[in-house]
Each structure stands twice: as C-alpha cells, then as structure tokens.
A and B are shown apart, each in its own frame.
Chain A
Amino acid sequence: MVSKQPLIRRIVIAFVLMTVVVSGIFSVSIVATVHFVEGHLVPLELDGELDNVLAPENQGVLRPRLDGRTQLYATGHGAAFAIPPLFANVETGYSEVTDGDHAYYVMRRTVDGQDYILVQEQHEFEEREVLLYKIVLSGFVLSVLAAWGLGLMLARRVMAPVIRLANQVRHRDQLHPLAPALAPDYPDDEVGRLAASFDSTLGQLRGTLEREQLFTSDVSHELRTPLMIISTSCELLTVSNNLNARQHEQVQRIRRASEDMRDLVETFLILARRKTDKQVPGGEATLASVAQEQIQQWAPAIEEKGLKLSLIEEASDDGHYNSSFLRTVISNLLRNAMHYTDQGEIRLITGKCGFRVEDSGIGIPEELHESVFQPFVRVNQQRGEGLGLGLSLVKRVCAHQGWQVSVHGGEAGGTVFEVKLA
C-alpha cells in the first residue's frame, strides 16, 4: 500500500512509532523487573528474618527485633504472639494475604510442632511501587512527546529544500523567460540534482516550443508566396476565354481553397508570433463591419448547402478590434456551424461587446463542451472535413486577445457559440 501522507507527517509518525516501541519496551521491562524483585527478594528477606528469630542462641525465647511493619506470630508462646484468624490458615512457606485494603507478605514455618508466622505489611512497598510506575509512565509520555517535537523539527529542516523545490516547480512553465535556473540555489545533493534535471527538462521543452513556433512561423511565411501565385494564376485563368464551363468551375474551386488556406496561414503566422508582440497586422475594425464582411463571404457556400444565413444586430457596438483576429474567429465559427448543420439556419447575432453564432445543427453533448476547444477534437468523426483545429484556433485567438469564448446548447436545439470581446 502506498502511503498518501505528506512526507513530513510520515517522518514524524516514524519517529513517534519508534519511540513508542523503544520506550514501551523499556517501561515494560522496568515494571517486569519490579515484579520479579517483589516475588524473589521479599521471601528471601522474610526467610532471613525468621532465621534470626529462630536462631539457636535465642534458646526458644522469642525476642524478635523487627521493624514497625513486620509482625511475628507463633503458637505456644502466649497471647502476645497468638496467631490472628486471618493468618490461621495460611500455607507453610511464602504467600500473600489480602484483607480489604491491606495486603501482607506472609512466611510460615513449622519448627518442633510450633507454627511461626512472620507477617510484613505491603503498604510501604506498594507506595514506592506506585511512585515508580508513575515515573515510568511519565517518562514514556515525555519521550513520545519529545520524539514528536524532535521529529517535526528534523522533518521540517530536512524537507525544507524539497518543499521549496515543490513550490518552485509548480506552473514553472508559465514563468517569465528571465527566471534564473533552479539548480544554483541548491547544494549538489539529491534535491540539487532533481532541480538540475528539472531545469534541463524545462529548457528542452521551451526549446522545442520555440522551434515549433519558429517552424510554424517560417512555414506560414514561406507558404504565403506560392499561395499568392496560385490565387493570381487562378484569376488570370478565369479571365482568359480558353476555359469551358467545367474547367472554369474547377479553377474557381482551386481559387476558393487557396484563399481559405491563405486565411489559415495568416492566422497561424499571427499566433506563432510572441504573445507579447501585440504589433499584429490587419488593423482595427468594428464588429459590425467584420460581421457584414463575413456574412457576405460565407453566404454562397452556406446557401448552396440549403441553409439560411442571417445577421442580426441586437445592440450596436462601437468598439474597435483587431480585424484579422475577429475575422478568423467569426469565420471559423461560421465554418464550424456550416459543417454541423444539415437543415435550418445559421444566425450571427452581434450585441454590445460580443456576438453569438447560433445554428440548428446536431448540437454538442454537454460533456464535450470543454474539450471541443482542444486541438484535434471533433464531435462527430464521420462528419465534415478538417482536423478539428478550427475551434482550438478560435480559443487560442480569444486567449491571445483576452476575449472569452463559450459554448452552450440553443433553446431550440443546435449549438450557440458566444464570444465576449472584453
């Protein structure tokens, strides 16, 4: 089982557990020793004292020299030594007798038919025993507490570089390129090596991203000229009179496709530029003018498919936006709507600081609303052409410009894409 506790807690738990085991063993052995001593030393002591009492030089006269907690009882030595009923039935040898709160050690010996009983009160011994147990218990508790404190202190100290590194690597990919490397901050130990490999991995990742960006930018740039040549050649072909109707139609298709490709290349080029580079070509335009232009551009294709395309102005907006980006966003949303709508209509509705593209198409399941903006995600693999890059492009353009794009289901089915131009 993999433990899910944070590392610091695991170290502290290990410390405390180890101390519980070690000091627990010590405490238990102290208690066991006390019991062993009680069971073996007390009978020896009592036996010795009884030997003294019954020593031959006493000549049968009992003159015990005992301390206050020890009593001698015997038969045949008068009332002074009469055996109390409590001890009358004790067995010969060592035993313990309890009487309510009192407990006694008893040693019985029979000499020449007479019984001798030496009785010692346990009271004092028990007091000492209890005191000892208290000391052992508090020692145990204190050592566990000390282990906890020490473990926490040590764990914090040991873990500090790891925690710092963990905090430093979070979202590090988004950090400004000026950020210094991590490794020089750490000594050349395990954490330092981890930091160094993180640095190098992030460096490689950044390098790759940069190369990809350069590649996209270069390719887009290089593609512009041939596309322009295709486009102008198509135009020249169209105006020449040597083509029949069928050839004319094909040339028109080539021209439309190359224009689409040029738009796409333009957008890739813009997105491949550095994010901070706000100097993008295209100038500024109002939402209304771009919307109008896009409606005109898309109307033939959409109407050819048997759909109705309409532009509705709910409220006027006098803001100026980057025309290239706005064109790309609207164009991609309209293309997307066209691909996924078989009948009914597509509406471009402009309002204050934003617009919506509504269609009466197949709609997007709610669970796909988030992922639909990811590259290469398509709602229905069998439908339409393309790689599913259109919406991801829309998302990237919006993120670049600080706009917000969202998708939800329409009231009468279909899909609504809403863009807020902040």
Chain B
Amino acid sequence: MASKNVELDLSPSYDADQDRGLPVQEQAGLVRRLSLWRGQKLARKALQLAGEPNLVLDFPTLKGRYWPLLAHLPTRVVLAADSGEPDISQLIARYPRSITERIQPLAATMTSIPLDANAVDSIFCMRFMQQQLIDPAQRTQILNEFHRVTRDTLIISLWVDGNYKSWKRKRLEARRAALGQSRVRSGRSVVARGVIESEFKTVGFNILGSFDFLPGYAMWRVYILRKSH
C-alpha cells in the first residue's frame, strides 16, 4: 500500500515530512497540528465509548501514531497486527520502551487473524481502509473476521459520504468523467453511510456511536461497534 493511501485527509504529507527527517514542530503547520490533535481526540473518545478495552488488537497506521494513546492506560496490552507493512519492529524501535513494552507484535492480516474467537476485548483499526474496502466481498470478509476475533467492540475508521468533501469529490469525478479523463485517486473509495451501516448490522455488530473528524465537512469517520449477542 502506498503511503499516501493511508494519509489523513487534511495532512497529506505529514508522514512524508517525518521521513525526510524534518522536525515535526518546524514542518507541522497549524492545520496539520490541529488535524493530528483532532485525530488523537477521535481515537480517545472512541476508546472511551468502547469502555477502555484492556486487550486491544491494533492494526497500526504507518507510523504507529496511536500507540502512545493506546499505551496511555497502564493496564492495557496491545497486540500490534504485523502484516509486513508497516515494519513493526522498526516502528517499535521508534518509540520509548515505556510505550512499547506493552505492545506485542502478532503476524496477522485483516482477513486472517491467527487468534481464536473472542480472543481480544477490542479491535482498533484507525488505519484508513479505503483500499481494502472497495470490494464489498472483501469488506464483508474483513468484518466477519473482526467479528469472530473481537469479544466486545470494534473501532474502525473509514471514509463515508454525506459531507462536503465527498460531494466535492463526486462532482470532480463527474466532471473528469465528462471530459473523458481518468478517475481521480482511484485507489481510494468512499463508502455510503447507509451501505456500510447495514453491512455492520448484517455481520452482527451494533453501532455504539460514531465520530466525524469535522462534522459535515470531512469524510473521515470513526465507528464504534459492539458485537450483538
């Protein structure tokens, strides 16, 4: 997966800046810092709504951005899914021991997690899932696997429609299509709210709540789901 595909919408080059070795403080403009702050806040609220799970299976973002937040609760153990990208051992080396001592790598992909049913309290997937979620069959497969492995909740972040950004995007695509040009950023997809929510229900999740990055404007939404029993 190319790194730009998992970028935060409002901070398109944040990770790339870090890769060039530039200090975050110098690079990070106000908007970027705000967006980072907002992202952390969303994740914190989501974890709170999910009842502060103890054993979390995390599908880390490319920089393991949410690890400090996850490790914030001293009684939490995090299983970091390691599918080869990002390289978990390198990521672990970036963070202080106080954070990474409770993070255990686990070789897993979204469609195949080598854990028994109900093995973790919560699955935390703030990784943007546009690419994986284009194909509804694969989407269902991923959600089914998540449903099997989580005991209680699932925190999942994705792009949904019904906001200004998605409307603008749709308009741009329509315009490009009319001009006969190729589609923009064809690797990313926006899922219709109704569709994804009904899929959650079909798989067996109840929607506990959802938080928008910027309500009415941004596409990024975090869903907190609880397994229905």
Contact = CB atoms under 8 A, between A and B. Distances in A.
Contacts of A275: 116
A179 B121 contact: yes
A78 interface: no
B116 to A, nearest CB: 6
B173 interface: no
A176 interface: yes
B77 A185 contact: no
Interface in A155-185: 163-164, 167-168, 170-172, 174-176, 178-182, 184-185
A28 B112 CA distance: 68
A275 B51 CA distance: 29
Interface string B139-179: 00000000000011000000000000000000000000000
Nearest to B78: A178
B151 A171 contact: yes
A170 B117 CA distance: 13
Nearest to B151: A171
Contact of B54 (A163, A182, A276): A182
Contacts of A163: 51
A167 B208 CA distance: 13
Contacts of B120: 175-176, 179
A182 B76 CA distance: 10
Interface in B49-82: 51-52, 54-55, 73-77, 79
B116 A174 contact: yes
Contacts of B73: 185
A185 B54 contact: yes
A171 B54 contact: no
A175 B51 contact: no
B207 interface: no
Contacts of A171: 118, 151
A286 to B, nearest CB: 24
B16 interface: no
B108 interface: no
B104 interface: yes
Contacts of B77: 178-180
B184 interface: no
A174 B151 contact: yes
B129 interface: no
Q: Sort A-B residue pairs by CB-CB distance and give the 8 closest, nearest first.
A: A174-B118, A179-B55, A176-B119, A171-B118, A164-B51, A184-B75, A180-B75, A171-B151
Contacts of A168: 51, 54, 121, 152
Given A170-B229, A184-B75, A176 B152 contact: no
B147 to A, nearest CB: 13
A171 B147 CA distance: 13
B79 to A, nearest CB: 7
B54 A174 contact: no
A184 B74 CA distance: 9
Contacts of B114: 276
Interface of A: 163-164, 167-168, 170-172, 174-176, 178-182, 184-185, 275-276
B54 A167 contact: no
Which of B75, B76, B114, B115: most chain A Cβ within 10 A?
B75
A179 B55 CA distance: 5
B79 A180 contact: no
Given A168-B152, A170-B151, A171-B151, A176 B52 contact: no
A161 to B, nearest CB: 10
A179 B54 CA distance: 7
Contacts of A174: 116-119, 151
Nearest to B76: A180
A185 B151 contact: no
A175 B122 CA distance: 11
7 contacts: A164-B51, A168-B54, A168-B121, A175-B121, A175-B151, A176-B115, A184-B74
Nearest to A164: B51
Nearest to A174: B118
A176 B119 CA distance: 5
B142 to A, nearest CB: 18
Contacts of B51: 163-164, 167-168
Nearest to B51: A164
B152 A167 contact: yes
A174 B152 CA distance: 12
Contacts of B119: 174-176
Interface in B91-131: 104, 114-121
Given A176-B79, A178-B104, 16 more contacts: A164-B52, A168-B54, A168-B121, A170-B152, A171-B151, A174-B119, A175-B119, A175-B120, A175-B121, A178-B77, A179-B54, A180-B55, A182-B54, A185-B54, A185-B75, A276-B114
Which of A168, A181, A275: most chain B Cβ within 10 A?
A168
B152 to A, nearest CB: 6
B52 A178 contact: no
B145 to A, nearest CB: 13
Contacts of A172: 151
A164 B55 CA distance: 14
Which of A167, A172, A176, A182: most chain B Cβ within 10 A?
A176
A263 to B, nearest CB: 27
A170 B121 CA distance: 10
Nearest to A165: B51
B162 to A, nearest CB: 29
B66 to A, nearest CB: 19
A184 B75 CA distance: 7
A171 B229 CA distance: 11
